[in-house]
């Protein structure tokens, strides 16, 4: 007997939840907002799930729904009180892997990415997720050439933010 | 080293750093209500339809005099045709809104999704605009009708000097303009706030394609 739709969905989401966490990491900067966006993406995924035909990978499908929710559908959480800084809560940085210079550099980099606009963040996200330009262009609805050009501009922008 | 390459190295490693949610935590999340802009737009469009239909129906239900006047007007074919036309237009808007809401899919690419939401917003805008035009025209027609048919008002107007007459027309026009402007500004503000982010991101996407 096939699994009920709900169970099937939750199991898949549980397996691939890091994709959602990563979208939230780029588009929010505190714990509450992270969970709020996670919640909204989960609802959107669940609503769209009956139409998921499995002709693409579940993860690929999640990238699209996750990014669309973050860029277009999501209305920012009302709970915007920034009581806890994101990195100290959602991330468990262990003592042994802590390398202060690289850690500092990464922190600056993440800060720089946070200063990009929503579309630029989406391009960075797909790039970090090792998507090729064809996939990036299909997810965003732009041409491959333009995705490439924009990506180069984003890299330049990041460099400018880091070395003003 | 390319900055993004350094970030990518860390990004790949970050998988085990998130607070993972268990299936038991995920189940209740499916039952929560969405607060997406599409849902808000949907409620606004329903509210729009109900609001304007109510504006046109409530006086009819509440006031006997209004109803009597209406019945008198219904003897004219012209008025019946106009009424039927206005219902047809409402039905047309309901259909267009339904179709455009159905076309919004979160699995489309980002640009298409934004375009479909903006299309829905445009339909609501046209509906509001149509109603505002209709309301202004009705106000003007009602004014002309009352000033010539209401014996009390007609007699008063007869005694008006030119200056008073112009002042009265001016006042009436001012009221109409203010009424339309207030409602229009309200919508501008409402959509401005609701779709600020979408508009900004859509512009940004369009800019890439130039």
Could you give the angle at the alpha carbon of B205 between the alpha carbons of B201 and B206, nearest 5°? 115
Say whether both A144 and A97 belong to one domain: yes
The last residue of one of the domains, among A92, A118, A146, is A92
* Cβ pair B201:A128 closer than 8 A: no
Could you give the angle at the alpha carbon of A73 between the alpha carbons of B34 and B92, nearest 5°? 90
State the pTM of this model: 0.83
Question: Would you state the pLDDT for residue B17?
Answer: 81
Question: Would you state the pLDDT for residue A96?
Answer: 47
Say whether both A147 and A71 belong to one domain: no
Question: Would you state the pLDDT for residue A146?
Answer: 95
Kindly list the residues from chain B whose CB atom is less than 8 angstroms away from the CB atom of residue A74.
36-37
Share above pLDDT 70 across residues of chain A, in percent, rounded to a whole number:
84
Say whether both A8 and A49 belong to one domain: yes
CATH number at residue A127: 1.10.10.10
Question: Would you state the pLDDT for residue B209?
Answer: 84
Alpha carbon distance B38, B48 (integer Å): 15
Alpha carbon distance B152, B158 (integer Å): 10
Structure-token pair, residue B195: 């779709």
- Torsion sign across C-alpha atoms B6, B10, B106, A8: positive
For residues A73-78, give the mean pLDDT: 76
Question: Would you state the pLDDT for residue B153?
Answer: 77
Q: A26 burial class (0-12, 13-18, 19+ CB within 10 angstroms)?
A: buried
Say whether both A31 and A86 belong to one domain: yes
Query: B107 or A97: whose pLDDT is higher?
Result: B107
Alpha carbon distance A143, A141 (integer Å): 7
Q: Which residues numbered 79-108 in A keep a CB inside 8 Å of some CB on B?
A: 90-93, 105-106
For residues A145-157, give the mean pLDDT: 94
* Cβ pair B109:A117 closer than 8 A: no
Is A74 a residue whose pLDDT tops 80? yes
Q: Which pLDDT band, with edges at 50, 70 and 90, does A77 fall under?
A: low
Say whether both A20 and A76 belong to one domain: yes
Q: Which residues numbered 1-30 in A keep a CB inside 8 Å of some CB on B?
A: 6, 9-11, 13-14, 17-18, 21-22, 25
Query: B195 or A164: whose pLDDT is higher?
Result: B195
Say whether both A80 and A15 belong to one domain: yes
Say whether both A54 and A114 belong to one domain: no
* Structural domain boundaries enclosing A36: 1-92
Say whether both A16 and A47 belong to one domain: yes
CATH number at residue A27: 1.10.1740.10
Which residue stretches of chain B have pLDDT < 70?
Answer: 1, 60, 70, 73-75
Poorest-pLDDT segment among A10-14, A45-49, A148-152, B171-175: B171-175
Looking at the DSSP assignment, which residues form a beta bridge with residue A138? none
For residues A84-93, give the mean pLDDT: 43
Say whether both A77 and A101 belong to one domain: no
Kindly list the residues from chain A whose CB atom is less than 8 angstroms away from the CB atom of residue B15.
18
As a whole number, the mean pLDDT across chain A is 85
Say whether both A82 and A101 belong to one domain: no
The last residue of one of the domains, among A92, A111, A139, is A92
Question: Would you state the pLDDT for residue A90?
Answer: 44
Nearest partner of A26 among A82, A66, A75, judged by Cα: A66
């Amino acid at each position: 007997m096939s699994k009920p739709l709900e169970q099937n969905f939750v199991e898949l989401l549980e397996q691939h939840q890091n994709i959602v966490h990563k979208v939230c990491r780029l588009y929010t900067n505190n714990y509450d907002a992270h969970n709020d966006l996670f919640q909204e993406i989960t609802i959107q995924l669940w609503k769209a799930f009956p139409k998921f035909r499995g002709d693409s990978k579940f993860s690929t499908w999640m990238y699209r729904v996750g990014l669309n929710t973050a860029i277009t559908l999501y209305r920012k959480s009302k709970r915007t009180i920034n009581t806890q800084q994101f990195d100290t809560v959602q991330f468990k940085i262990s003592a042994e892997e802590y390398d202060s210079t690289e850690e500092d550099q990464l922190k600056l980099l993440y800060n720089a990415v946070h200063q990009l606009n929503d579309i630029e963040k989406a391009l960075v996200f797909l790039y970090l997720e090792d998507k090729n330009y064809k996939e990036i262009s299909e997810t965003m609805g732009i041409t491959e050439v333009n995705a490439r050009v924009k990506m180069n501009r984003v890299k330049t922008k990041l460099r400018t933010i880091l070395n003003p | 080293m390319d900055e993004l390459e350094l970030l990518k190295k860390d990004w790949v490693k970050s998988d085990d750093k998130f607070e993972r949610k268990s299936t038991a935590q995920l189940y209740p999340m499916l039952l929560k209500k969405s607060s997406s802009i599409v849902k808000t737009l949907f409620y606004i469009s329903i509210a729009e339809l109900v609001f304007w239909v109510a504006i046109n129906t409530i006086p009819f239900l509440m006031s006997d005099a209004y109803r009597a006047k209406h019945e008198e007007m219904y003897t004219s074919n012209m008025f019946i045709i106009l009424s039927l036309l206005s219902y047809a237009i409402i039905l047309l808007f309901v259909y267009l809104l339904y179709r455009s809401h159905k076309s919004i899919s979160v699995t489309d690419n980002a640009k298409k999704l934004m375009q479909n939401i903006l299309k829905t917003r445009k339909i609501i805008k046209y509906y509001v605009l149509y109603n505002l035009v209709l309301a202004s025209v009705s106000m003007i027609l009602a004014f002309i009708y009352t000033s010539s048919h209401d014996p009390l008002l007609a007699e008063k107007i007869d005694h008006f000097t030119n200056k008073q007459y112009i002042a009265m027309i001016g006042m009436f026009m001012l009221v109409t303009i203010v009424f339309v402007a207030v409602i229009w500004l309200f919508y501008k503000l409402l959509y401005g706030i609701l779709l600020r982010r979408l508009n900004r991101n859509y512009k940004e996407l369009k800019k890439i394609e130039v």
